[in-house]
Amino acid sequence: MKVLSKLVAIVLVIALIGGMFIVSSTGKAASNVPKNFVKVTYLMLGDPPTNGQLEKVSAEWNKVLKKKVNANLELKFTGWADWYTKYNMILASGEPIDLITSADDWLDLWPNAARGAFKPLDDLLPKYAPITWKSVPQSHWKLCKYNGKIIAIPEDQFTQWVNHGFFYRGDWARQAGIKLPIKDFETIEKYLDWIKKNKPGVIPWDAAVSIGQEIWDGWVESHTDAIGLPFGTGYHRIFWGKSAKDWATVYSPIFDNTMIEYAKMMKRWSDKGYFRKDVLTYKGDTRSALKEGKTGLDEHHTQTYLGLRVDMDKKQPGSDLQFFPWCYTRGNLVRLSILHGATCVGRNSKNPERALMVYDLIRNDPQVYRLVNYGIEGVQYILKKKNGVLVRATPPNYDENKHAFWSNFWGGRNDKLEIPSENTPIEIRNQLWGYFDKIAKDFPYTGWAFDPKPIQAELAALSNITNTYGPAISFGKVKDPVKAVQEYRNRLKAAGYDKALKEVQKQLLKFKKQMANQ
Amino acid sequence: MEVSSKETRIQQDTSGIVIKIVAYIFITLFTLACLIPFIIVISTSFTSESYIIKHGYQLIPRQFTVFAYKLIAADPQYLIGSYVVTILNTLIGTTVGLFLIAMTGYALQRPDFPYRNTISFYIYFTTLFSGGLVPYYLLVTQVLHLKDNYLAILLPSLMSPWLIILMKNFMKSIPHSITESAKIDGAGDFTIFVRIILPMAKPALATVGLFLALGYWNEWYNAMLFLSSSVKYVPLQLFLYNVVSKADFIRNSAAAANVPPQDIPMESMKMATAVAATGPIILVYPFVQKYFIKGITVGAVKG
Amino acid sequence: MNLPANSSRMSYKSKSRFSKLRNSKTLLLMCMPAIIFFFVFSYIPMPGLYIAFVDYRYDLGIFKSPFVGLSNFKFLVISGDLWRLTRNTVLYNIAFILVGSIVEILIAILLNEIAAQRYRKVTQTIMLFPNFISYVLVGLIAYNFLNYDYGVINNLLKNFGAEPIDFYSNPNLWPFIIVATRIWKGAGYGSVIYFATITNIDPEIIESALIDGASTFQKIRYIILPLLKPTFVILLLFSLGGILRGDFGLFYNLVGSNNSILFEKTDIIETFVFRSLMNNFNFSLASAVSFYQSVFGFFIVTFANWLIKKIEPEYALF
């Protein structure tokens, strides 16, 4: 008896603890009857705001959604900690999530489609997301198909330029006697050299090692007409399409002079001390250093530049921050994939119809759009006119800690409903955008559902080798660049480069045929 | 432990003196090595961001500022919530886990328990083979339905093979004759365990309890996997991890064209959060340790 | 032992002819929570190891996904690094086990010799501190100590007129740095077990030895050390099972995943897998690696256990 009573006591204690701890928030089983109230979940990347604003703004949009489609929208965030694992894990586990943020170039849209993570939407879209269905041209919908079925909604009605380039200081460049704007790597070298000689205490380019991946892309884009294929191979992108015209021919600039010249230049930069001696381990923050006037060069894309320019004018007055996008050298620029942002419906979604109805509102209803993207008017932003344009301004009693709000909605923003922030340097923006728009060619690979399966082992092995050899070559930490590149190539060959190239080429030609037939 | 006889003290041999000197030197040096990084963390958290970017981390705060702490304090509810979660989790997990581990450990070392080797192997085997991440995730979310439930961070850490075997080993040092004589007195195994063994096993309980508690205190991985945004408060270490990795992400953002550019002092924020998340346990620990030391010495003098 | 006799149970008990069996039933019942616990958290997911042999399809589930045999293991082999990785991982773990145990035992024994209670408590507490800082912070701090241009160590060297050391380009220094960091972080924590074992030693044994004229050194050598042996052996057997599992956080944050100059000496299986899969997310490939590590560890442990059983059967795990 005693044993029994003890055990019972233990069980009770555990049960009690359990009871105290259960804060389960799984929604009640929802029915498919549209008249019924349902809760729609939407998987977002990153951390949610933790200042209570998400709850407040959610309450606002839920009022609207309740009225219009008898549903509520709950955002689920992956968190930034280990987000890549977690995102894929959530998809792998088949949790019944309704809407899922995806992207072909950084969130594995096609591999996940191949693994059966998403629901086909052909029948649902026209009925339940009619506005979106009509606003996305049929030619775009074609590109969102896997095995002949639409599995993603593209963010194709939103203009953003995320083409990369160097940021440099206009004031220093002018002092160095350089004619602005800088249009090639060679002039950047002159600029860095001037800093090294004339600005003691400044590291000309205080780069963190991860940036080398983007510099390689930039080098190739400014020295060839090649277009990067939309799948990663680690530190260096190995596979490229020959040019915008000859996009279905695969080749690798690692195996021609492009890589040799790159390795040589970076060796020179390293020897001259343009970056830290132990740059390969440095994980610091180039951008902060730039703002502190401790370095003269940074790298990122157009959107970042537009924000940073304003910031630099405040932090380093007179610095006149300039931008050298890679396409300045020879006009090699392609538009962003329309699937750079996308929304999919989860395979186990219980309410795909209602999810699409909600999505249609987020994307096309001005009221919901503003709530989801900007928050509550008067709290997160106020509207005003600037030079005749409607812009968002910061409310007078706005406190970043208390009022900041974001939803990370990157799967269907819409130019028609966008309101620029008053801080955007609109003139610089328009000038850059206008130029890009003029020279840019369409991205030829959207809709190419590359299937890595046949060369999975090779891709992993190749990625490992670029991740191993890439950083040292990209930052000149090799004795003899030519020899190092040769060794690099040998290792890639040994890891199955030829087999992988053949397979990629095969799949690309198949895609080309398919496009021609449509 | 105190050596009671005065004579033996006086009889200190030369090797004793040498070893004492070595002991003080070695322990002091090692302690300093453990202390210095902490001082750096604290001091950096009080140093201005621009100074850190220019000169690196500091042993003594330069350009003293409490800005990072102000930022944390501006919205303290999540830090406080994290504390509550971690403290409750640690307390409950350690208490329940310790009891279960001790019970298992005691049974497994009983020489008259025929299944002891089979069960020991059954437990040990799990350290060699595991299903891996996906099956584990599926188990917790789809079978046990513990997603967004604090039980998902409490239950998986209750027991570990290592702590059970450790406990079993400690328990071995309690003479079996004590169990036997109690049995002759007619006590059942569970009663013997609760009434006699547990009070005698204080050193073992203190040690294993400390490991359990440290494990719970440092836990972030299960929380990262299973507590998503719908749980308001996450354990401290995950909170800290989020601050650090979010800062890294914003900085290296490969994809996030859209993360708002923030002007937060990231370096000192990281450090300040580290201090805020670990500082108090360090202040509290000596009081807890008093209990451990007491437990250890009381338990050691067994009669 | 003045236990309140439970008369009803006693009479029941003495009546039984199978009291031994029933006794083990209670013991079995006491093991039940653990048995259930490991069944749920370890044995239920275990068949999921099968994921290493399939091309995992989310919509089909692990067991209905197409079987692909050993092709998930292929990437480990074709990169040509498997031997080097296995060697590095094993050697590092051996170093951690050996050096770690020595330092932990040393700390425990020396702490025990420190008579000043307060000093002992304070130092013991401080030695646990590193356990609380994450490897992310450890990596940041290490960089601040070791970097060439502004590192604390090199600043000191420069002040004394010495040549700065380029730590991050010199692979031969890294085994020492990594082992030292690991010891620094874990020794205080690890020594708790040994310290507890020492305090658990019956004081009479030590006292009588001292009265018999044993020196402090002899006390340590002939009483304390032998009594620490079982703990050491158990720790050893536990570490051996994971001999091919590396401490990713330690290596990743200290060395980074980009400094290939150091890889010859610092690359372990986990960092290799990280570099291979960071752009090609694939659960099946990751599981294949884990399977390889498990099988390797399983054989090592079985062998070690067999060996220990021959020498000292008392210490064997199973």
Backbone angles phi, psi at C103, to 5 degrees: -65, -40
> Per the CB < 8 Å rule, is C48 touching B20?
no
Out of A305-319, A405-419, B188-202, C126-140, pick the least confident.
Answer: C126-140
CA nearest A79: which of B224, C164, B204, C177?
B224
Is A11 within a domain? no
- Please report, for residues B136, C43, C143, the alpha-carbon distance to residue B143 in angstroms, rounded to integers and kept in the order given: 10, 13, 44
Q: Which of helix, strand or coil describes residue A227?
A: strand
Mutate to test the interface with A, among C58, C67, C73, C167 (most CBs of A within 10 A): C58
Q: Is the pLDDT of residue A142 over 60?
A: yes
The mean pLDDT of chain C is: 87
Is C30 within a domain? no
Q: Is the pLDDT of residue A469 over 70?
A: yes
Is C138 within a domain? yes
More confident position, C181 or B1 = C181
- Beta-carbon contacts of C264 under 8 Å, excluding residues fewer than 6 positions away, are C84, C171
Q: Give yes or no: residues A232 and A290 share one domain.
A: yes
pLDDT of residue B290: 61
Asked if A162 has any chain C CB less than 8 Å from its own CB, the reply is no
Q: Is the pLDDT of residue B197 over 80?
A: yes
Q: Give yes or no: residues A85 and A109 share one domain.
A: yes
The mean pLDDT of chain B is: 80
- State which of A323, A347, A374 marks the end of a domain: A374
Backbone CA torsion sign across C85, C86, C91, C92: positive
Strands laid side by side in the A321-325 sheet? A297-301, A164-169, A321-325
Q: Give yes or no: residues A222 and A296 share one domain.
A: yes
Contact in structure between C253 and C138 (CB atoms under 8 Å): yes
Q: Is the pLDDT of residue A49 over 90?
A: no
> Per the CB < 8 Å rule, is C272 touching A477?
no
pLDDT of residue B293: 55
CA nearest A326: which of A467, A183, A203, A427?
A183
CA nearest B83: which of B227, B236, B299, B211?
B236
Is A81 within a domain? yes
Q: Work out the pLDDT band at B303, boundaries 50, 70, 90.
A: very low
pLDDT of residue B287: 64
Tally of domains within chain C: 1
> Per the CB < 8 Å rule, is A304 touching B261?
yes
> Per the CB < 8 Å rule, is B134 touching C51?
yes
Contact in structure between A359 and A370 (CB atoms under 8 Å): no
> Per the CB < 8 Å rule, is C242 touching B127?
yes
What residue of C is the nearest CA neighbor of B129? C294
Q: Give yes or no: residues A226 and A308 share one domain.
A: yes
Q: Give yes or no: residues A234 and A300 share one domain.
A: yes
Q: Give yes or no: residues A203 and A300 share one domain.
A: yes
What is the token pair recorded at C274? 């990280």
Q: Is the pLDDT of residue A439 over 90?
A: yes
Q: Is the pLDDT of residue B280 over 90?
A: no
pLDDT of residue A426: 85
Out of A483-492, B50-59, B117-126, pick the least confident.
Answer: B50-59
pLDDT of residue A260: 97
Minimal C-alpha gap between A422 and chain C (Å): 37
pLDDT of residue B53: 76
CA nearest B134: which of C50, C241, C244?
C50
Is A421 within a domain? no
CATH number, domain with residue C251: 1.10.3720.10
Q: Is the pLDDT of residue A425 over 60?
A: yes
> Per the CB < 8 Å rule, is B148 touching A26?
yes
Instruction: Give CA–CA dist A311/C272, Å, rounded.
Output: 39
B47 secondary structure, DSSP code:
B
Is A170 within a domain? yes
Instruction: Give CA–CA dist A518/A509, Å, rounded.
Output: 14
If you count residue pairs, one on B and one on C, with CB atoms under 8 Å apart, how many are there? 314
Chain C contacts in chain A segment 66-125 (CB below 8 A): 84-85, 88, 91-92, 94, 108, 111-112, 115-117
| Average confidence (pLDDT) over A379-392 | 89
Asked if A503 has any chain C CB less than 8 Å from its own CB, the reply is no
| Average confidence (pLDDT) over A501-514 | 95
Q: Is the pLDDT of residue A198 over 90?
A: yes
Q: Is the pLDDT of residue A228 over 50?
A: yes
The percent of residues above 90 in pLDDT, for chain B, comes to: 31
What is the token pair recorded at A37? 């109230």
Q: Residue B229: which of A22, A76, A410 has the nearest Cβ? A: A76
Is C16 within a domain? no
pLDDT of residue A114: 92
CA nearest A337: which of A228, A495, A219, A218?
A228
Q: Which chains touch A (3 or more CB pairs under 8 A)?
A: B, C
pLDDT of residue A300: 92
The percent of residues above 70 in pLDDT, for chain A, comes to: 93
Q: Which residues of chain C fall below pLDDT 50?
A: 1-15, 17
Out of A327-331, B68-72, B154-158, pick the least confident.
Answer: B68-72
Q: Is the pLDDT of residue A356 over 60?
A: yes
| Average confidence (pLDDT) over B53-58 | 76
Torsion of the alpha carbons at C95, C100, C101 and C105, rounded to the nearest 10? 150
Asked if A273 has any chain C CB less than 8 Å from its own CB, the reply is no
Domain boundaries, chain B: 2-45, 70-298
Instruction: Give CA–CA dist A434/A359, Å, rounded.
Output: 31
Is A384 within a domain? no
Asked if C6 has any chain A CB less than 8 Å from its own CB, the reply is yes
Q: Work out the pLDDT band at A473, boundaries 50, 70, 90.
A: very high
| Average confidence (pLDDT) over A271-278 | 93
Q: Which of helix, strand or coil describes residue C123?
A: helix
Backbone angles phi, psi at B87, to 5 degrees: -65, -45
Asked if A402 has any chain B CB less than 8 Å from its own CB, the reply is yes
CA nearest C86: which of C308, C299, C316, C303?
C299
Instruction: Give CA–CA dist A238/C100, Å, rounded.
Output: 43
Q: Is the pLDDT of residue A17 over 60?
A: no
Is C33 within a domain? no
CATH number, domain with residue A48: 3.40.190.10
Fold of B70-298: MetI-like fold (1.10.3720)
Asked if A77 has any chain B CB less than 8 Å from its own CB, the reply is yes
Instruction: Find chain B residues with C-beta within 8 A of A79's C-beta.
Output: 224, 228-229, 242
pLDDT of residue B144: 93
pLDDT of residue B298: 39
pLDDT of residue A335: 93
Q: Give yes or no: residues A326 and A458 share one domain.
A: yes
| Average confidence (pLDDT) over A89-106 | 92
pLDDT of residue C277: 85
Q: Give yes or no: residues A142 and A189 share one domain.
A: no
Tally of domains within chain A: 2
- Beta-carbon contacts of C126 under 8 Å, excluding residues fewer than 6 positions away, are B31, B34, B35, C188
Q: Is the pLDDT of residue B255 over 90?
A: no
* Domain region containing C300: 82-315
| Average confidence (pLDDT) over B87-93 | 93
Q: Is the pLDDT of residue B301 over 60?
A: no
Give the position of tokens 């990280």: C274
If you count residue pairs, one on A and one on B, with CB atoms under 8 Å apart, how many are there? 140
* Domain region containing A203: 164-331+445-517
Is C157 within a domain? yes
Q: Work out the pLDDT band at B248, boundaries 50, 70, 90.
A: low
| Average confidence (pLDDT) over A153-181 | 94
Q: What residues pair up with A46 in beta bridges, in sequence order?
A: A79
Beta-strand pair A227-228/A240-241:
antiparallel
